[in-house]
């Protein structure tokens, strides 16, 4: 079957393309913008890419079109061509649920923060244990060969988010996946472009919980009030809690930067992790991953050994440049809570070295300014912050964030020049580039300028 994917360079759709290719299908795809790391991964897999969208985007011999969500509303020339030609089409989440996941033990990772990292951890733990899981991850894990793999039965680990499925299917994507094991990492208000308030998101999670079988398991934090409110609506499956206090699975003897800690179940020490990561948020991700792998049959001490070898995910505090007095990281943080935890974790690790954050508010919620009032508190761990005021931003950064340690620039070339000058006078320096989009190739342009 020839499958053509619209929106193929998105994290979900790119991974679906890899899975379809591994299943033996001919795969091609179109997107408006093609950029690494997903475009590189697709090209290396022999998948033909077309850009930008046009009325000729879909090849004439296609059997099925999978339609992504980002940038694909009615009026898009490729969508209009699809409908005019009456071609068969499905959403990405529906294709996964119908054709790939229906006979698998699905381990789904949901929540506002940490989904990609936690999904990568679970897939790595189960793979480390020799069980060869399938997986679909919204990023490219360093320990595994790609962002997606069909793997061997029964386990399939999937990043499962609450964003809607497509222009023609407005239910949350994760409702198509029917997991046996469900991780809820945390829950905050996000996706302001499609949800009016937190309660609407909680309703989608409630619908997801209604689909978990009685012999499944729901793994969640012990102290997240928003998650607990969802569970109070009804829960028909066993639960396991994780967290730093009042939880069944917890961590103790944590080093100051979070790079080393013990793991305890019911108060008993069951393992130890020493790894190259920092921050309480990563410890929380690790506990959730250990619990999910345990439900799949992997012992906790084996999981701890696996995580001690876990090297991370591209664009999640990925070190992309380093010399003797400068380190540059690429990070996907796109919500105040994630920005805050990432910067605070790095601050503990680097001590008194200068920390510069460069933030591109690229997500729908960030562009709308939904969390503008709390962004000031999220960046306090940085010595200096450069904000990119993109043309499609619906709010004025300077109205909410007015500080002597903050600069706002709209021109990428100007931002690169400004960053170079700062780097030249503030070594030793750590630079964190935070964006969940392509950022106009800023990362590579900055490295080339250096």
What one-character-per-residue DSSP string does 202-262 give?
HHHHHHHHTTS-TTSEEEEESS-HHHHHHHHT---S-EEEESSSS-SEEEES--TTSSEEE
Q: Average model confidence (pLDDT) for the chain?
A: 92
What pLDDT score was predicted for residue 426?
92
Mean pLDDT of 395-410: 77
- Look at 188-192, 348-352, 400-404, 428-432 and tell me which has the smallest mean pLDDT: 400-404
pLDDT-based confidence at 180, cuts 50/70/90?
Answer: very high
Contact in structure between 273 and 264 (CB atoms under 8 Å)? no
What local confidence, expressed as pLDDT, does residue 404 receive? 63
Q: Exposed e or buried b for every residue in 385-406, given b needs 16+ CB within 10 A?
A: bbbbbbeebeeebeeebeeeeb
Beta bridge pairs of residue 359:
387, 434
**What domains can you pick out in the chain, each with its CATH number?**
2-91 (3.40.50.720), 101-308 (3.40.1190.10), 318-449 (3.90.190.20)
Indicate the pLDDT class of residue 136, thresholds 50, 70 and 90: very high
Q: What's the N-to-C CA distance of the chain in angstroms?
A: 46
- Which tens digits make up the pLDDT trace of 240-296? 999 998 999 999 999 988 899 999 999 999 999 999 888 888 999 999 999 999 999
The pTM assigned to this predicted structure is 0.82
* Least confident interval from 310-319, 400-409, 438-447: 400-409
Residue 147 has pLDDT above 90, yes or no: no
pLDDT attached to residue 321 = 92
The reported pLDDT for the residue numbered 34 is: 80
pLDDT band of 330, cuts 50, 70, 90: very high
């Amino acid at each position: 079957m020839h499958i053509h994917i619209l929106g193929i360079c998105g994290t979900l759709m790119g991974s679906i393309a890899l899975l379809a290719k591994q299943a033996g299908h001919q795969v091609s795809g179109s997107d408006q913008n093609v950029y690494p790391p997903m475009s590189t991964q697709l090209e290396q897999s022999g998948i033909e890419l077309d850009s930008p969208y046009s009325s000729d985007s879909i090849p004439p011999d296609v059997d099925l079109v999978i339609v992504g969500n980002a940038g694909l509303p009615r009026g898009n020339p490729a969508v209009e061509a699809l409908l005019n030609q009456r071609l068969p089409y499905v959403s990405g989440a529906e294709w996964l649920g119908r054709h790939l996941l229906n006979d698998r033990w699905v381990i789904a990772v949901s929540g506002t923060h940490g989904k990609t990292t936690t999904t990568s951890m679970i897939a790595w733990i189960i793979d480390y244990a020799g069980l060869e899981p399938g997986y679909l991850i919204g990023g490219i894990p360093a320990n595994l060969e790609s962002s997606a793999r069909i793997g061997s039965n029964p386990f399939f680990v999937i990043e499962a988010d609450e964003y809607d499925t497509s222009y023609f299917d407005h239910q949350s994507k994760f409702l198509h996946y029917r997991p046996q094991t469900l991780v809820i990492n945390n829950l905050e208000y996000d996706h302001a472009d499609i949800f009016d308030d937190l309660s609407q998101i909680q309703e989608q999670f409630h619908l997801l919980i209604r689909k978990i079988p009685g012999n499944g398991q729901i793994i969640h934090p012990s102290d997240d009030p928003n998650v607990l409110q969802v569970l109070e609506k009804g829960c028909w499956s066993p639960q396991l809690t994780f967290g730093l206090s009042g939880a069944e699975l917890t961590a103790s003897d944590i080093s100051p930067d979070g790079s080393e800690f013990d793991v305890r179940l019911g108060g008993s020490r069951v393992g130890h992790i020493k790894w190259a990561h920092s921050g309480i948020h990563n410890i929380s991700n690790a506990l959730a991953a250990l619990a999910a792998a345990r439900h799949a049959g992997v012992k906790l001490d084996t999981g701890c050994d696996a995580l001690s070898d876990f090297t991370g995910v591209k664009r999640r505090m990925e070190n992309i440049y380093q010399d003797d007095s400068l380190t540059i990281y690429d990070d996907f943080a796109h919500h105040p809570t994630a920005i805050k935890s990432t910067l605070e974790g790095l601050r503990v690790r680097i001590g008194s070295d200068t920390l510069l954050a460069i933030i591109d508010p690229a997500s729908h919620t960030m562009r709308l300014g939904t969390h503008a009032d709390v962004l000031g508190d999220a960046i306090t761990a940085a010595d200096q912050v450069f904000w990119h005021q993109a043309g499609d931003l619906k709010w004025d950064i300077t109205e909410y964030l007015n500080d002597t340690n903050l600069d706002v620039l709209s021109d990428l070339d100007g931002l690169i020049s400004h960053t170079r000058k700062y780097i030249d006078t503030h070594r030793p320096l750590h630079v964190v580039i935070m964006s969940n989009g392509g950022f106009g190739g800023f990362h590579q342009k900055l490295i080339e300028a250096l």
